[in-house]
Amino acid sequence: MSGRTVARTFTAATLTALLALTAAGAAQAAGSPSGGGPVEDLIELPDGFQPEGIAIDARGTAYVGSLADGDIYAADVHTGAGEVISQGPGTPSVGLTIDRHDRLFVAGGPSGTARVVDAATGEILASYQLTTNTSFVNDVVLTQDGAWFTDSLQAQLYFLPVGPSGALPDASEIRTVTLGDEWVQVAGFNANGIAMTPDHRALLVVNSSTGTLYRVDPVAEHTIAVDLGGTQVPNGDGLLVLGRKLYVVQNQPSQVAVFAMAAQGFSGRLVDTLTSPEFDIPTTVARYGDGLFLPNARFTTPPTPDTEYWVTRIER
């Protein structure tokens, strides 16, 4: 890529060291501590990769999923070095997140599936058929009790309960929650990014077609529109909550809207809009240290085996 540092491929020793670091540190991206040492402002991905979701562990390993074939790429945010650690199933890997057991929970897009991948070995630990209807399982967030997945084509969420010791569920334990009440389902993509409210008692889900943010009480199965003071977030994609701030990636405007949120998530106000000349339709966001890392999907660029892709870091 002209004017950019070319990504380095892991040597066997580098990969071994990276995986050792991954195994040693377990934290969700949103909970990562401030990282030590310099980090890359731009991380090259393999040509033709077509990135979408991103998660970063406590040691600074960024995991990015491919829309092309579901591969998962791991890169060191301190050096930019990276390599595919898990071969995809031939269907997309969309949103993903990492738990304290170094397991990646991956949304499977039009396959209607979710899978759990060992971040150190790339092994698929479990795979779940969430739905057999026309669907696009898009994004995922981990709560204290398990993983919640959005479906952009159906007005519902899927829940995979995870035991206190990290035990993965049987397929029979999957729960489906309908998005009703104030939720408005329209033609095209609807439910997209998902996050917990600042107080961790409910969920926030953005409808990327209407630009409306919703608060979902998964226990009462109650959905209401969040009062953002008249602000909409069209093409809202990935969400990230850090303290009382909500970051909403808007893919086609190539920007991140920042809201100061009420603790329970019923309201918020726009306080900033972040962008970068290195953005080319960013989709999702993960935090490491004082930075935000966003993969660029480049949806308006025809994908070819030689199309270049990258992750951009901005200050939060």
Angle at 221 between CA 219 and CA 227, to 5 degrees: 105
Domains of the chain with bracketed CATH: 12-315 (2.130.10.10)
| Range in 6-20, 218-232, 249-263 the model is least confident about | 6-20
Whether pLDDT at 34 is above 70: no
Q: What is the mean pLDDT of residues 230-239?
A: 98
| pLDDT, average across residues 144-173 | 97
Distances (CA, A) of 41 to 19, 55, 76, 288, 314: 22, 16, 12, 12, 7
Does 123 have pLDDT greater than 80?
yes
Q: How confident is the model at residue 35 (pLDDT cuts 50, 70, 90)?
A: low
DSSP state letters, 111-138: T-EEEEEETTT--EEEEEE--SSS--EE
Tens of pLDDT, residue by residue over 186-222, are: 999 999 999 999 999 999 999 999 999 999 999 999 9
Residue 15 pLDDT more than 80?
no
Question: pLDDT tens digits for 21-33?
Answer: 333 333 333 333 3
Is 52 within 8 Å of 94 (Cβ atoms)? yes
Percent of the chain predicted with pLDDT > 90:
88
Give the tens place of pLDDT for each residue, 253-270.
999 999 999 999 999 999
